[in-house]
Amino acid sequence: LFRFSFDWNDGLFDVTWSENNEHVLITSSGDGSLQIWDTAKTKGPLQVYKEHTQEAYCVDWSQTRGEQLVVSGSWDQTAKLWDPAVGKSLCTFKGHEGVIYSTIWSPHIPSCFASASGDQTLRVWDVKAPGVKLVIPAHQAEILSCDWCKYDENLLVTGAVDCSLKGWDLRNIRQPVFVLLGHTYAIRRVKVS
């Protein structure tokens, strides 16, 4: 157990662990910055990246050990691609017309990530190709969370302010493959087992 804490001067909204170093993690914060921390060193952070102009609400480290890539999503309506070894973002993804609440790497396709937004869309991006790969008008409400299925590379699940969960097959986005109802409040986080 760790017996120390790290302090930052603004709220921390999300955290993601490195896939190749058990001591390294990245947090995203209300001042629009990302912080890299090393739990083996009690002083921190190792590095701070400040490019987002509003809250950096979500951050995710790629799940492939070959590529050390991080994606962040912000209330400034952009997602940014980072290599922690480089002192600035590699690329900025624009297209959302609302706050980005969730950015999640595909566990199957190393260069793809999904983003969920207050603009009511789920989007899929490929970092090796410019522009958005897929735009899904997934809910008639703000989408607060999304996650990839670990066992089906074409399945994504969204959770929204409309209190519903929806499953999306990327090969046919005209309608969801399932809709799960029952919550009485907005769904802030969804995770696929």
- For 54-95, the pLDDT digits (tens) are 999 999 999 876 678 999 999 999 999 999 888 899 999 999
Q: Could you tell me the residue range of the domain that residue 67 belongs to?
A: 12-146
Q: Residue 3 — pLDDT band, cuts 50, 70, 90?
A: low
Q: Indicate which CATH number applies to the domain containing 109.
A: 2.130.10.10
In a domain, 81, yes or no: yes
Count of structural domains, the chain: 1
With respect to residue 7, please indicate whether it lies within any of the assigned structural domains. Answer: no
Whether pLDDT at 153 is above 70 = yes
Q: Structure tokens of 180?
A: 């799960």
CB atoms within 10 A of CB 149: 18
Cβ atoms of 106 and 138 within 8 Å: the answer is no
Q: Is 122 within the bounds of a domain?
A: yes
pLDDT of residue 4: 63
Residue 126 in domain: yes
